[in-house]
Structure 1
Amino acid sequence: MANPVLAAAAGRVARRYMAGTKASDALSLIAANTARGHLTSIECAGESVRSEEVANSESKIFLSLISDMKARGEHATVSFDLSHVGSVVSPELGLDNALSMATAAREAGTHLMISAEGSARTDLVFGPVRQNLRRIPGNWHHDSGQAAPFSRRPQPRHAAPRPHSSRQGRVP
Structure 2
Amino acid sequence: MSNALKIIVLFPVFAGTFFPMEGCKNGPPPVMLVRHLLKHDKEQDLGAIAQGSMLHLEKSAEGTATVGEDFKVSLKSKSGDGHGWQCRTPNDPHLLVDAVFETEPAGVVAAGDDLQTIYHLHARAAGKAKIKFALVSTTQPNNAPTETITLEVEVKEASSK
**Under a length normalisation based on structure 2, what TM-score does the superposition of the two structures give?**
0.29
Instruction: Tell me the TM-score normalised to structure 1 length.
Output: 0.28
| More helix, by proportion | 1
Normalized per residue, the structure richer in strand is 2
**Greater Cα radius of gyration, structure 1 or 2:** 2
